[in-house]
Amino acid sequence: MIGSANHSPEGTLSILSRQSSSAIAEPIMTLVSRGETVATPPMTFPISAAANVTFNGERYLHAHLLHTFSGTSASTLEISAQARQFSSMMVMVGTISSASSFEPKYAAIVQNKDELTIPLELSTIPTPKEFKEAVVSISPKQQAFAKMFRSMQLASTLFGVVVVQIKPALEQILNLPPDSLTKELRLTQDLMELFIEYQIPTDLLKYDTEPAGGGGGGGGGG
């Protein structure tokens, strides 16, 4: 479930396994480690060459064991994201490049009963023993290249998904009090339309707590 405290869930996010194209997809079983929000440092992801976004929140590390037997085909995996009515969230998929950075590859907004399904293409990386046996007969230069290529593969094998709830994000960038948009369904839809379709800068819609004219002095009477 995707949501926050004292609020109904915005939707669901799950990884499904399908044994064949005609089989029903079922959620996979994983080993889970949950990181506390207070104890974990913030992470960042780039949105351009000069700008990064810092984020924090609950983090879950999932481990799943895949196995196949001779004569059988491996099951396929897919990510499924579903949003409830009048709810919205942004789903980003990518890799964890370091303990403090996330590299997004694709992103999509899921809202108003949308259902997003993303197939996952998996590849098997040889074990250290298999790799050593495979490169023992090639030249030293080729071995160096193979080792460099393997290190690049191992550096980007940690798959990550980041979910951003849109209503709290809108409240923050528009300088609104928390939960201001919880019951403002039409206003939330109009704001998303302005930002997504018309690319309106947030500064034009941001709530300014200071008076527009500033604090002027008063006049005296005689």
In angstroms, how far is CA 220 from the centroid of its own chain? Answer: 59
- Greater confidence, 21 or 200? 200
Cβ neighbors of 124 (< 8 A, separation 6 or more) are none
- Greater confidence, 220 or 116? 116
Across 97-136, b (16+ Cβ under 10 Å) vs e yields eeeeebebeeeeebbeebeeeeeeeeeeeeeeeeeeeebe
Residue 94 CB neighbours (<10 A): 18
- Kindly report, residue by residue over 11-41, the tens digit of the pLDDT: 999 999 988 777 788 999 999 998 776 678 8
Q: Report the alpha-carbon distance of residue 57 to residue 140 in Å, rounded.
A: 46
- How many alpha carbons fall within 13 Å on the CB side of residue 123? 8
139 CB-contact burial (10 Å; exposed 0-12 / middle 13-18 / buried 19+): exposed
- Kindly report, residue by residue over 68-123, the tens digit of the pLDDT: 787 777 788 999 999 999 899 999 999 998 889 999 999 999 999 999 999 988 87
Q: Report the alpha-carbon distance of residue 75 to residue 18 in Å, rounded.
A: 6
Asked if residue 142 has pLDDT above 90, the reply is yes
Are 117 and 91 spatial neighbours (Cβ–Cβ below 8 Å)? no
Instruction: For the chain, give the mean pLDDT.
Output: 86
Tell me the two tokens of residue 185: 């369904």
